[in-house]
Structure 1
Amino acid sequence: MEIHIADERTQLEARLDSQREQILDILTDLNEGEARARLVPSLTTPLGLVKHAVFVEQVWFHSRVAGVPRTELGLPDSIDDSFVLTPDDTVESVRRSFLGACAHSRTVAAGRDLNEQVPWHRGPVDLRYIYGHLIAEFARHAGHGDILVEQLRAQRTPGTTPS
């Protein structure tokens, strides 16, 4: 749903939800093997991108805003580790984890003032900053996912090359 004229909070929430949808779309129509395919030297895979997005939601909203220690949430110390897939990670399980993390993030943020500040290692940030940061991060990762999915779909149809 696009919102063109609304208050700042509504705009930020709508833009973040739009990027959350783009993150989920990475997994649309991918089988388990394709979702785990590593097409670049880094740990980046379509499934890993969505798993990383769960981590991002949990770090920013569940830990920083809600104040739950990262260890209690079972979050890895390293950002790179948030892309690592386990045998239990499936398209459906990671999709459910992301939807659950987003729902909890919405609950955590509901009713909080955009000016509310939370600690961060680079100094305090407000909720407005967090919305902007996640919008930008998810947009970047959705773009990565689009490229990977385009490559995977091209491999399904021999003789085609991405243009």
Structure 2
Amino acid sequence: MDDDAAKANLYNYLKHEREALVSKLDGLSEYDVRRPLTVTGTNLLGLVKHLATWEARYLGEVFQRPFPEPLPRWDSEAERLADMWATGQESRNDIIDRYRRVWDHSDATVAALRLDSTGRVAWWEDAEVPLFNVLVHLLAETSRHAGHSDILREQLDGAVGTDAEAMADQQHDQAFWAQRRELIEAAARSAG
């Protein structure tokens, strides 16, 4: 596989995961996309905001192509954690639109660089890293958070799938899932 094909393949997977993550907000109230669903406060809109911040960093600052909008500092704990939730003044549309602007910026960076082009990642002990490694890292990070969003959305309303269409076209009803959960619970109890 040549570099252009490898870059396109990695980047197409990243694009798919981005869309899957954003689709998890479809059809939910403002409260449900913002409310903390784990002990640490993880929430759907916060995952989008977090990924927008870090993709802007990795495919911006790292390659000396800074995203033109302000980003919270990565070296300040208070500011770094601020990207994990939305304030009351930040709308869902503002955060999603910002993420989409980050995508456009990232698209330009990826198009302009070769896979072996290097950038400096200050938060990785100032390591010099090729675009290939950054794309793999972003794909892994975005996939990880898309997986979190799958679980959070299922927890909210039982919707499953990788996009809004799949979530709307559920293959099983609530009774099916209740029976399946009981079966799994019984297996867990018998093993314990």
Q: Name the TM-score, length of structure 2 as normaliser.
A: 0.72
Q: Secondary structure of the equivalent of 1:110?
A: helix
Q: 2:31 aligns with which of 8, 13, 33?
A: 33
Higher helix share: 2
Q: 2:72 aligns with which of 72, 75, 87?
A: 75
User: Is contact 2:49–2:83 with CA below 8 Å preserved after alignment?
Assistant: yes
User: Is contact 1:50–1:94 with CA below 8 Å preserved after alignment?
Assistant: yes
Within 1, Cα distance between the matches of 2:44 and 2:71?
A: 22
For residue 83 of structure 2, what is the amino acid of its counterpart?
A: S
| Unpaired stretches in structure 1, ≥5 consecutive residues | 1-5
User: Is contact 1:76–1:82 with CA below 8 Å preserved after alignment?
Assistant: no
For residue 60 of structure 1, what is the amino acid of its counterpart?
A: Y
| Change beyond 3 A, Cα 1:85–1:133 | same
* TM-align CA RMSD: 2.4
Matches within 5 A, 1:10-159: 10-68=8-66, 73-77=70-74, 78=77, 79-120=80-121, 121-122=124-125, 123-154=127-158
Shift of 1:142: 0.5
Shift of 1:74: 2.9
Other-structure match for 1:3: none
Q: Secondary structure of the equivalent of 1:119?
A: strand
Q: Name the TM-score, length of structure 1 as normaliser.
A: 0.84
1:135-162 deviations in Å (ceiling 9; x for gaps): 10011101111111111114xxx99869
Tell which deviates more after alignment, 17-26 or 138-147: 17-26
Q: Secondary structure of the equivalent of 1:7?
A: helix
Percent of counterpart pairs with the same letter? 26
User: Is contact 2:47–2:85 with CA below 8 Å preserved after alignment?
Assistant: no
Within 2, Cα distance between the matches of 1:68 and 1:29?
A: 33
Shift of 1:108: 1.9
